[in-house]
């Protein structure tokens, strides 16, 4: 199966560790491997090295190459977008590359994954992906759904229908009634209460043919550019509409199905979610780096070059870097992006 890894985002919610020049996919949170490296490794469960394509932006492509060479070999397939146009154009460029340079056929399934999530255990996730391949080849757009635990507004929601297309060995495939990208808080609360919705994990699979059919139907501007060669498409990339795959296709397509996944998944969109997914010590702390701590509990404390000491702190997020420190109360980390906005204005 072919695989496209999307690595062109520029998240700032994990400031001061993630920056415009150093987005989340390049962070190593659980061990020495970065989230991008973990993604590349995970994808080897279902794709051969030479069938994995990474789409990133021009500024990061050299760094991406360095990072994935130990995993994917000396000459990984890296596409550098001339300009970021969000995920729908990035995927279209990746699919064109697969058709033209890797001889992808219309019936081949393509697995699309973000590069900045935590997914574990990888081997169990691979079983879901294998199940998805069969549905992708049958013309469906397969999404992977996560049971929601809060009315998160940063995610897409997948409304399942009652129709099951598959139900075996603890795995289910539901037809999808409607895909709703990033609802407002009240709507998200209703979705959560109804019990009929999954979070969209941002991971998809479809055949090349299905992608082309849906993009022709729902995003003709992308389709028109897609009809060119890979090189021309890249040259004309600035003409692409700026739109995510979720708005471009997922909300409109009638071919969407969902596989609920029962494993650890997090898009670690905030420091609070970093704390949630990492293993805690006996005081319920997550401590990394150059840190000495006494009587501190329930906190995420990330040290850097200088020594960081805490005494008696509770319920805090502390992240040190060379030029900035974040100190936040747990539960408030969504507001870090407001700080980043403020700093941008002051620049």
Three-state SS sequence of the chain? CEEEEECCCCCCCCCCCCECCECHHHCCCCCCCCHHHHHHHHHCCCCCHHHEEEEEEHHHHHHHHHHHHHHHCCCCEEEEECCCCCHHHHHHHHHHHHHHHCCCCCCCEEEEEECCCEEECHHHHHHHHHHHHHHHHCCCEEEEEECCCCCCCCCCEEEEEEEEEEEECCEEEEEEEEEECCCCHHHHHHHHHHCCEEEEEEEEEEEHHHHHHHHHHHCHHHHHHHCCCHHHHHHCHHHCCCCCHHHHHHCCCCCEEEEECCCEEECCCCHHHHHHHCCCCCCCCEEECCEEEECCECCEEECCCCCEEEECCECEEEEECCCCEEEEECCCHHHHHHHHHHHHHHC
Question: For ligand GDD, which is the closer residue by CB, 6 or 300?
Answer: 6
Give the footprint of Mg ion on residues 257-276 (CB under 5 A).
267
Asked if 159 touches Mg ion (CB under 5 A), the answer is no
Asked if 253 touches ligand GDD (CB under 6 A), the answer is no
Question: For Mg ion, which is the closer residue by CB, 114 or 303?
Answer: 114
Asked if 152 touches Mg ion (CB under 5 A), the answer is no
Torsions phi, psi of 307, nearest 5? -75, 135
* Residue 195 C-beta: closest distance to ligand GDD, Å: 18
Question: For ligand GDD, which is the closer residue by CB, 143 or 310?
Answer: 143
Asked if 116 touches ligand GDD (CB under 6 A), the answer is yes
String marking each residue 156-195 x if it binds ligand GDD according to CB under 6 A: x------------------------x--------------
* Residue 71 C-beta: closest distance to ligand GDD, Å: 17
Asked if 85 touches ligand GDD (CB under 6 A), the answer is yes
Asked if 274 touches ligand GDD (CB under 6 A), the answer is no
Q: How far apart are CA 165 and CA 142, in angstroms?
A: 12
Residue 90 binding partner per list Mg ion, ligand GDD, none, with a CB distance cut-off of 5 to 8 Å that depends on partner kind: ligand GDD
Torsions phi, psi of 224, nearest 5? -60, -45
Asked if 86 touches ligand GDD (CB under 6 A), the answer is yes
* Binding segment (CB under 6 A) for ligand GDD, from list 96-104, 112-120, 188-196, 225-233: 112-120
Residue 12 binding partner per list ligand GDD, Mg ion, none, with a CB distance cut-off of 5 to 8 Å that depends on partner kind: none
String marking each residue 2-41 x if it binds ligand GDD according to CB under 6 A: ----xxxx---------------x----------------
* Residue 136 C-beta: closest distance to ligand GDD, Å: 17
Question: For ligand GDD, which is the closer residue by CB, 23 or 104?
Answer: 23
CB 291 within 8 A of CB 309: yes
Chain residue at closest Cβ approach to Mg ion: 267
84, 148, 241, 289: which one contacts ligand GDD (CB under 6 A)?
84
Cis peptide before 121 (omega within 30 of 0): yes
Give the footprint of ligand GDD on residues 48-67 (CB under 6 A).
55-56
| Interface contacts to Mg ion, rule CB under 5 A | 267
| Interface contacts to ligand GDD, rule CB under 6 A | 6-9, 25, 55-56, 81, 84-87, 90, 114-116, 155-156, 181, 199-202, 246, 267
């Amino acid at each position: 199966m072919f695989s496209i890894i999307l690595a062109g985002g520029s998240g700032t919610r994990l400031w001061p560790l993630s920056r415009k020049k150093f987005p989340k996919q390049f962070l190593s949170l659980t061990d020495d491997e970065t989230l991008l490296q973990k993604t590349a490794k995970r994808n080897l469960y279902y794709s051969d090295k030479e069938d994995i394509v990474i789409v990133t932006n021009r500024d990061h492509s050299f760094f991406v190459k360095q990072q994935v060479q130990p995993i994917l070999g000396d000459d990984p397939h890296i596409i550098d977008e001339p300009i970021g146009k969000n995920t729908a154009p990035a995927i279209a460029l990746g699919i064109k590359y697969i058709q033209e340079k890797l001889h992808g056929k219309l019936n081949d399934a393509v697995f699309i994954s973000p590069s900045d999530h935590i997914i574990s255990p990888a081997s169990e996730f691979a079983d879901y992906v294998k199940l998805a391949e069969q549905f992708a080849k049958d013309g469906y757009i397969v999404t992977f759904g996560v049971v929601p635990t809060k009315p998160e507004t940063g995610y897409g929601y997948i409304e399942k229908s009652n129709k099951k297309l598959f139900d075996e060995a603890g795995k289910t495939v539901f037809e999808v009634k409607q895909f709703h990208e990033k609802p407002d808080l009240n709507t998200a609360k209703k979705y959560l209460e109804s019990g009929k919705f999954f979070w969209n994990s941002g991971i998809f699979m479809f055949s090349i043919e299905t992608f082309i059919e849906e993009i022709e139907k729902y995003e003709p501007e992308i389709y028109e550019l897609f009809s060119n060669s890979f090189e021309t498409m890249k040259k004309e990339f600035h003409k692409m509409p700026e739109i995510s795959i979720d708005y471009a296709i997922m909300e409109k397509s009638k071919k969407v199905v969902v596989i609920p996944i029962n494993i650890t998944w997090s898009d670690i969109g905030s420091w609070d979610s970093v704390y949630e997914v990492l293993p805690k010590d006996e005081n319920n702390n997550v401590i990394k780096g150059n840190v000495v701590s006494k009587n501190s509990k329930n906190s995420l404390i990330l040290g850097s070059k200088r020594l960081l000491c805490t005494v008696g702190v509770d319920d805090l997020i502390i992240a040190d870097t060379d030029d900035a420190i974040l100190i936040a109360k747990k539960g408030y980390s969504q507001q870090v992006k407001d700080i980043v906005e403020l700093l941008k204005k002051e620049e």
